[in-house]
């Protein structure tokens, strides 16, 4: 009978050990599932980050082109303004010169009439 009791005790211990191992296996399986879900979420996040980085790179290059374009336009406006001032100054000089010539001619005409 001693062997029967020992055998029953061993069977009970084995069943208990089996239950513990089954519980541990389920726990590991749950952890694995949870880890797979987190990896999937991280993968989705990484894909979104990649898309955002691409959009940011496009936006940055567009802003750079816009800033260069603005500088070019500003430079052209300055050149136009300088050219306009030069033309205006030349016109004023010509106007002053013609007035001087006219006043000199009037002075000669007045002397001739006297």
State residue 99's pLDDT score. Answer: 62
Per-residue pLDDT tens digits for 81-99 = 888 877 777 777 776 666 6
Instruction: Name the CA radius of gyration of the chain, rounded.
Output: 49
State residue 70's pLDDT score. Answer: 79
Distance CA 17, CA 10 (A): 10
> Tokens at residue 94, please?
């010509």
* Closest among 50, 73, 70 to 62, alpha carbons compared: 70
Distance CA 19, CA 24 (A): 9
Per-residue pLDDT tens digits for 28-63 = 999 999 999 998 888 888 888 888 888 888 777 777
Cα 78–82–88 angle (5° rounding)?
A: 145
Q: Is 95 helix (H, G, I), strand (E, B) or coil?
A: helix
How many other CB atoms sit within 10 Å of the CB of residue 32? 10
State residue 4's pLDDT score. Answer: 67
State residue 105's pLDDT score. Answer: 58
**This model's pTM is above 0.85:** no
């Amino acid at each position: 009978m001693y062997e029967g009791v020992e055998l029953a005790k061993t069977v009970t211990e084995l069943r208990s050990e089996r239950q513990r191992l089954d519980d541990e296996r389920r726990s590991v399986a749950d952890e694995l599932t949870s880890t797979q879900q987190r990896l999937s979420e991280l993968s989705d996040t990484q894909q979104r980050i990649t898309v955002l980085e691409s959009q940011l790179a496009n936006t940055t290059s567009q802003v750079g082109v816009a800033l260069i374009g603005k500088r070019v336009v500003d430079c052209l406006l300055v050149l136009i303004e300088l050219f306009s001032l030069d033309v205006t100054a030349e016109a004023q000089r010509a106007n002053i010169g013609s007035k001087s010539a006219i006043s000199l001619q009037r002075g000669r005409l007045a002397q001739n009439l006297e």
